Structure 1
Amino acid sequence: MGAQSADTVIFDLDGVLLRGDAFGLFMRRVGFAGARLPLAVVLLLLLAPVIAVPSLRPRAARWLSRIGLAGRDADRLQAELGRFGASLAAEPGRVIAPGVRTIRAHLGAGDRVIVATACEHTLARALLDAIGLAEVELVASHIRGPKLIVHNHGATKLAQLAAHGVAPPWRVAYSDSLSDLPLLGGAEQAVLVNATARQAARARQLLGARLRTVTFGAGVPPPRA
């Protein structure tokens, strides 16, 4: 499997290709829109202690998605996710152009490029297609109706990539989040995007000389969520 991954490059989505949390934006604008907005506020207050603990965040995400999407027909929900992904791509300042250019450079060099993200699959696929990255492979979270079946976050990305036929070591991995340290740890070269000094120091403790930091310019600020 290692030989198969020799020319594989893996990118996170949120914070590397897109400013903001794509699925979080969907939940705020669609899932908890209108009459459900007060419910969202109450849930966030109640779940704040859980969200503050990194190991418990996947469980909180499952609760929020299930409650926010309850009552939606599965086909309608998939259509909404697809439309929302395409609409995000069109928002001024939302797409991180240097990240997209970096992917295209890897594709031009003949690398196999995979986006591994905690974002929901239909939403992420629509977004990638809309920004001209239809040829990029995707390993993402999955929902069935309102239920989050696979939350592709943290170490789960390694298991999902393995199911996709990709095992470490991969050549390069890009992420802006320390939750992706397992993913970055599987790379021959790990790239931390827009990292603070504290994030970089912590990542370097694990990754040593394999770590590189890059800044994908601020550009135009995204619209308010």
Structure 2
Amino acid sequence: MRASDAGTVIVDFDGVLLRGDAFGLFLRRTAFAGARLPLAVVLLVLLAPIAVVPAFRPWAARWVSRIGLMGRDADGLRAELERFGAALGEEPGRLIGAGLRMIRTHLAAGDRVIVVTACEHTLARTVLDATGLAGVELVASRIHGPRLIVHNHGATKMVQLAAQGVTPPWRVAYSDSLSDLPILRAAEQPVLVNANPRQVARARRLLGARLTTVAWTGGHGPAEEPDA
């Protein structure tokens, strides 16, 4: 049976379910906190000329991650990520209520929902579990201690999905980033979230009239009920 026949829905994480870059927030607030802050500043200065080139951004992100996590053992780092993810899920305005409602609507309709993200697995899993989405499948980046094993970004997402036996076409895909064009192109209904006019124009040229755009500007705090 094709994935689209099974009602598979592919959902990005950062920018669709959670406002901001979750792992980037972890690096800034935890990994590069305290005595490591000067190192972070030096890294940003050195890598800034490279990071502005889209093709080199994954490489720059890999090095920032490796240096920020240096010296941490796997178990201790996993515990840090779990604590940070639980706190992030409770941060006012951090979660995107419309994205969470969208997932619940698809689940209620019997769709298979898979969150596919460049965010680190433990961190994304903790946030999803904290929002009541423990049953949602997750394909994410993976680390072991300070070492990045899989950077699940761009076309790598297609490779990781195929490794899980999920092949295109899928019925719907949601993303806020044009780095996910391979994911969006493989969807019968691609949905671009909170995109600017330039992103929409480029995506429209590549995806045509089947592209849908949505603006999910409102978040919700931990006290607000995320369901519709």
Shared fold (TM-score greater than 0.5)?
yes
Distance in 2, matches of 1:62 and 1:176, equals 21
Cross-structure match for 2:170: 170
Aligned-pair Cα RMSD in Å: 1.2
Question: 1:206-217, aligned counterparts within 5 Å?
Answer: 206-217=206-217
Partners of 2:16 and 2:99 within 8 A in 1: yes
- Distance, in Å, in 1 between the alignment partners of 2:4 and 2:162 is 11
Structure 1 residue 4: deviation in Å?
A: 3.3
Matched-pair contact (CA < 8 Å) for 1:62–1:147: no
CA distance in 2, matches of 1:70, 1:212: 42
Residue 101 of structure 1 aligns to which amino acid in structure 2?
R
The TM-score normalised by the length of structure 2 is 0.94
Secondary structure at 2:19 match in 1: coil
Q: How far apart are the structure 2 equivalents of 1:171 and 1:217?
A: 24
1:163–1:66: structure 2 CA closer, same or farther, 3 Å change rule?
same
Q: Which amino acid aligns with 2:209?
A: A
CA offsets, 1:134-164, max 9 Å, x none? 1100000000110111100011100011011
Asked if the contact 1:192/1:211 (under 8 Å) is kept, the reply is: yes
Distance in 2, Cα, partners of 1:164 & 1:5: 15
Structure 2 distance, partners of 1:49, 1:188, is 37
Per-residue CA shift, 1:104-136, capped at 9, x if unaligned?
000000000000000000000000000111110
Matched residue pairs, number?
220
Query: What is the aligned partner in structure 2 of residue 185 from structure 1?
Result: 185
Unpaired runs of 5+ residues, structure 2, are: 222-228
How far residue 219 of structure 1 moved from its aligned partner, in angstroms, is: 4.1
1:4 match: secondary structure: coil
- 1:161-211 C-alpha deviation (Å, 9 max, x unpaired): 101110110000000011111110110000000111111000011100120
The aligned residue for residue 65 of structure 2 is 65
Q: Distance in 2 between matches of 1:86 and 1:39?
A: 27
5+ residue gaps, structure 1, are none
**Contact 2:3–2:169 (CA under 8 A) maintained in structure 1:** no
In 2, the alpha carbon distance for the partners of 1:201 and 1:10 equals: 22
Q: Where do 4+ consecutive residues of structure 1 move more than 6 Å?
A: none
Whole-Å Cα distance in 2 between the matches of residues 70 and 5 of structure 1? 42
Other-structure match for 1:91: 91
Matched, 1:38 2:21: no
Change (3 A) 1:127 1:219: closer
What's the secondary structure of 1:206's corresponding residue?
helix
Counterpart of 1:4 in structure 2: which amino acid?
A
Match of residue 225 from structure 2: none
Aligned residue for 1:43, secondary structure, equals helix
Q: Greater shift after overlay, 102-111 or 80-89?
A: 80-89
Q: Which amino acid aligns with 1:71?
A: G
Q: Bigger shift: 109-118 or 193-202?
A: 193-202
Cα distance between partner residues in 2 of 1:165 and 1:209: 29
Cα distance, 1:83 vs structure 2: 1.2
| 1:18-167 paired onto structure 2 within 5 Å | 18-167=18-167
Cα drift, residue 54 of structure 1: 1.2
Match for residue 4 of structure 1?
A: 3
**CA offsets, 1:31-82, max 9 Å, x none?**
1010001100110110011111111111111111110110011100011111
What TM-score does the superposition give when structure 1 sets the normalisation length?
0.95
